[in-house]
Structure 1
Amino acid sequence: MGNFYLDNEDIQFYFKAIDVKKLAEIQEDHAENGDADYVPYDLDDAVDNYRRVLEIAGQIAADTLAKNAEQVDEEGNTLNDDGTVTLNPKVRENLDKMGAADLMGFTLPRRYGGLNCPTLIYTMATEIVSRGDVSFMNMFGLQGIAETINAFASQEIKDETLSRFCSGEVTGAMVLTEPDAGSDLQAVRLRADYDEATGQWLLNGVKRFITNGCGEILLTLARSEHDIDDGRGLSLFISERNECVKVRHLEHKLGIHGSPTCELVFTNCPAKLIGDRQRGLITYVMALMNGARLGIAAQSLGVAEAAFRLARVYANSRCQFGGPIENLPAVAELLTDSRVSIEAARALTYETAAVCDQEHNAQRVTETVPDLPKEKSMPLKRLMKSLKRLNAMLTPMSKFYSSEMCNKVAYDAIQVLGGSGYMKDYAAERYARDARITNIYEGTSQLQVVAAIKGITSGIFQSYVEEFEQTVYEDAELEALKAQLVTAKEKVVQGVEFVKAKSVTYTDLNARRLVEMGCDVIIGHYLLKQAALCDRKKTILKYFLAREMPLIEKNLLQILTGSQLAVDSYLEIVGPVPAAE
């Protein structure tokens, strides 16, 4: 039997390097344990529980998900004439295995049958699952819907739904996108009308590109205030699959064929309000999206890991010019670059997950200890506010960096395999097709940059990095590597000062360059911390800096040109709109 946790030394390294026990301390002390019979005895037992859960996920990913992935990709799911969807038998098998192992309620409280795991552990599991089958992660990852219900819904709704999520009885969908409301969710038009006669909300309209739209529990963003055109008129509703919701169309996609992407038609669908009216987009969906973005970062790690391993095995076994092709410098560089990129993205994603846990735990303390003395509550509230701002930068950074990374790693895997990689005989082409969606859904890379740049230009980035700069390393070589990162930070600051002195348009035009520079500096410090624990990580850091420092300089030089021809001369350069073919 295989195991995608036990065979991944880097994930295991993180499990030890990040202080999981510290996360568990608050997670367990302030958990709603209820009558669960698997509450940890102590912190060591809690950490051991997390490890065992990852082992179980690793085994299912290797022995079931990965083995079913090819058939699922070839066959997909089936749309029925009555507007329902029949899942592929192998997708159903995957769901049943995960549900039987109690892995469908990772972060939910034990009172509902959840595992009460930190976000970090859930993120690790998401990567492991994604390595088994990228498309199945979309069902596994939609546990985030249950988190939103737990955070914002009434107790009645929680009691009706959460235990069913945990058991695997139901899956969910976040029903946001419409034909004319994609990235701009403020344009959502699906109506929500309150029926005084029945005391119910009724939903009417069309939603498009809904991942797992055939799921049993639907969280739907709808316009409850018909006289307000922007995001303030939107509320969030929960409904169960019924005859009032039809799947009109299953999208025919490039990849992730096991994930049913649906067009939904709502016709007087009964629904319940989540939380308060008018907070659907501003509060609830933004929280949901942040979790989803971190999930896509982890999904990106999984597909990149799978693609890299396939390429490495092939390069080791394929002999040309008298030896394995991995001995050729050009191939060795492709594989080395992929390995370092994966570990860099994993550092950013896992550290972001740990910061999310710190924020959630600070909030949990304030909620579960209402009589906390002012001298303790005030610093805690300040910490929570600071962590929230930091997360608002790190989460889109993680999604941006990891999804771009996995597309390149999957692309390069095909290159290593050459003609064989272009054929369906190998999974490389499937990995490349599946990877392509990661920098599109849950917000394109361009939108992640829009979200992250605020942290770069507002000083959050600089303050965060300068905390790392205070660390003094006994190893002189590590201090020298840190000095490179200090110089790199100064280049980011120089770039920020330059664009802020120009215009909003110029800042927008160079936002991606600044975010890329910021990601490199932050990742560099994460790898520097690891290098103090492991000599191999020092080598990884050296390679990373040798590759990225010239790119930081290049980005800065481009910013300093002051050129915005892409905007000012757009029509002259791109020419007239081509005639439709």
Structure 2
Amino acid sequence: MADNFYLDNHDLAFHLKTPVVAELSRLRENDFKDAGTRPDAPVDENAALALYERWLAKVGELSAQKIAPRAAAVDREGVALQQNDVVFAPGTQENLRELVEAGLMGVMLPRRYGGLNLPVTVYSMMTEMVSRADASLQNLFGLQDIAETIFLFGSDEQKARFLPRFASGELDGAMALTEPDAGSDLQSVQLAARYDEASGKWLLNGKKHFITNGCAKVLLVLARSEEGSRDGRGLSLFLAEKSPQITVLRLEDKLGIHGSPTCELQFNDAPAELIGQRRRGLTRYVMSLMNGARLAISSQAVGVAEAARRCAWDYTSKRSQFGKPLCDIPAVWEMLSRMDVLTAAGRTLLYETSACVDKRDALAQLNEAGAGNDDTRNAEKAYGRLADLLTPMTKFFTTEMANQVAYDAIQCHGGKGYMRELNAERYYRDARIMNIYEGTTQMQVVAAIGGVMKQLLAPVMDELAALPFGEGLRPLAARVADARRLSQECLEMLNADDLGKLDLLARRMVRMESLIFVSLLLLRDAQRAPARRALAERFIWEFLPEVAMQATIVKTALS
């Protein structure tokens, strides 16, 4: 077992030490204007990078030395419901206590609320490492978007009352969206919110189910505030603190992620307060919340893939068959190397998307503070559109990737991989939910296809394709250019008004766009660091040809 999940992963350090992260630090720190006023505020980009590395090393150490050794026991012990109280496994309780003591429960919150004011990109790296150690713990640590949503949309009074308590670890949170008859179709939510004139409070009545960490002290609840309404325009977002009027009816018995409770909740006149404006719960606030959730699950997926590929390498390096280590048998080595490439590709897309979200958020704060101009407002909108495309695309790519890597990890172990004495089967069980919760892969396609049809990534890909690639990379860039032409031909043939065919072919279009974009990102990284050329070469030679196959299917369907 490694001593530190940050220090043993050079790929993480590569993605941290980029010009983009330096730019993010300037944006996040508002050109370092807090320097000198707060002892923990960096004075420049180098100080910010050193600060990020210190926090990542702290999380890496906790993940490797504390969280990972407890993960198998947490998986076996799970959670229990005792008189409406959810009881975590002892290992989970220790993990949460240590994360609180380390000051890691307000990673993205501003310092004035007791937070660390770290970028989303750094937080994504933290959640990747926590997930590599124990994917179920990420479902608790990774819910910091609840506090972030209050920061973005709550009143000043709500921020002052709740955010310091989130940052200190006194409060934890969950989002209560899904209902028995409203899964992916959140417009159909029926849990009722009624304003009580006598108490001056909103009262919630109804059920929610499949709620991750539904036992949390603070719930963000999507509820129908407009009586007689039937669609998303009648929904508002509410904050409900834990109370006797909120009952945990039961815990789901799940395939994996056993350390995280998945609850069915009953609300009986539960007091709540409105977040933001009425009628904007789904159309504005939950969409923002879901983008953060997509990024968190993408980080979780990359973390599980990293754990799975490492355990496969470890086992096959030690286990010998036919007079040689398993990893030296070509068929096994081919699986192992494919796992390496897929994991690194998913990570590359994850941190590109995280940086896009960081830029959007920093520009939004700048503009809301009245310090922006036309350029910054236009840039915020542009990055917002890109984030709306890249977050579902990234969840689509990384969660499907994690399932494949976890599957192959068991195969590398042979029969041993199927046994619970080793970790491979846990990674496989844990990975299976990731392309389902926070929006299935199919829903990610629905969310992404509009941006693909509008070719929102075209300017970004043009810029990447125009890089001065060296002689060794130019043939690979030419292959990517050929794939882009095929994709463009499909876009020109596909009529956005023909909804039947668009829905049928959307997955193939989003998949093509993902493969092309990841290929260009890997080429960019290989241009910057020649040691990464083999990674770009393997991905482009093995996975990019799928674009031609998908394009043939699309053209045949449209002809």
1:263 corresponds to: 264
Q: Find the partner of 1:399 among 374, 386, 395.
A: 395
- Measured against aligned partners, the alpha-carbon deviations of 1:397-455 in whole angstroms (never above 9, x if no partner) come to 11000000000000000000000000011010000000000000000000101111111
2:531 to 536, 541, 548: 536
1:222/1:237 contact within 8 Å kept: yes
State whether structure 2 residue 495 is matched by structure 1 residue 493: no
Distance 1:173 1:183 in 2: 17
- Whole-angstrom distance in 2 between the partners of 1:534 and 1:26: 25
TM-score for both structures, normalised by structure 1: 0.94
- Answer whether contact 1:462 1:493 (CA < 8 A) is retained: no
Over aligned residues, Cα RMSD in angstroms? 1.6
Identity of aligned residues (%): 46
Aligned-partner Cα distance in 2 for 1:354–1:462: 18
Q: Which amino acid aligns with 2:58?
A: I
What do the CA deviations read for 1:80-129 (whole angstroms, capped 9, x no partner)? 12x22122221111111111111111110001111100111011111011
For residues 495-544 of structure 1, what are the alpha-carbon distances to aligned partners after superposition, in whole Å with 9 as ceiling and x for unaligned? 12222288321121111111111111111111111111222311111111
Q: Residue deviations 1:143-195, cap 9 Å, x none?
A: 00000000000111111111111111121110000000110000000010000
* 2:79–2:87 contact (8 Å) kept in structure 1: yes
> After the TM superposition, which residues 16-27 of structure 1 pair with which residues of structure 2 at under 5 Å, given as runs?
16-27=17-28
C-alpha distance in 1 between matches for 2:444 and 2:284: 18
1:40 maps to which of 27, 34, 42: 42
CA deviation after TM superposition for structure 1 residue 480, in Å: 2.4
8 A contact 1:209–1:263 mirrored in 2: yes
Structure 2 counterpart SS, 1:418: helix
* Equivalent runs, 1:46-85 vs 2, <5 Å: 46-81=48-83, 83-85=84-86
> Which blocks of at least 5 consecutive residues in structure 2 are unaligned?
none
Counterpart for residue 437 of structure 1:
433
Q: Residue 204 of structure 1 contacts residue 268 of structure 1 at CA under 8 Å; is this kept in 2?
A: yes
TM-score by length of 2: 0.97
Q: Would the alpha carbon gap of residues 343 and 120 (structure 1) be closer, same or farther in structure 2, given more than 3 Å must change?
A: same
Please name the residue that 1:347 is paired with.
Answer: 348
Query: Structure 1 residue 563: deviation in Å?
Result: 7.2
**Alignment of structure 1 residues 238-387 onto 2, 5 Å:** 238-370=239-371, 372=372, 377-387=373-383
SS of the aligned residue for 1:40 comes to coil
Distance 1:172 1:540 in 2: 39
Aligned residues: 557
Alpha-carbon distance in structure 2 between the residues aligned to 1:63 and 1:347 = 26
**CA-to-partner distance for each residue in 1:358-381, whole Å, 9 max, x for gaps?**
1111112212244x5xxxx11221
Are positions 1:476 and 2:444 aligned together?
Answer: no
- SS for the counterpart of 1:438 is coil
Q: How does 1:97-176 map to 2 (within 5 A)?
A: 97-176=98-177
Equivalent residues of 2:516, 2:544 under 8 A apart: no
The answer to whether the 8 Å contact 1:340/1:540 transfers is yes
Q: Does 1:417 align with 2:413?
A: yes
Q: In structure 2, give the amino acid aligned to 1:483.
A: A
1:462 counterpart (458, 465, 468): 458
Counterpart check, 1:450 vs 2:446 = yes
Deviation at 1:469, TM superposition (A): 2.0
Q: Could you tell me which residue of structure 1 aligns to residue 519 of structure 2?
A: 524
**Distance in 1, Cα, partners of 2:31 & 2:391:** 25
Instruction: Say yes or no: does 1:545 pair with 2:540.
Output: yes
Displacement of 1:30: 6.6
Match of 1:186 in 2: 187
8 A Cα contact 1:144 1:291, kept in partner: yes
Contact in 2 for aligned 1:17/1:530 (Cα 8 Å): no
Aligned match of 2:96:
95
Moved >4 Å (runs of 4+): 30-36
Q: CA deviation at 1:479?
A: 2.4
State the Cα distance separating 1:33 from its structure 2 match: 5.7
Task: Indicate the residue corresponding to 1:389 in structure 2.
Answer: 385
Aligned AA (2:65) = D
SS in 1 for 2:11: helix
Deviates more, 1:496-505 or 1:431-440: 496-505
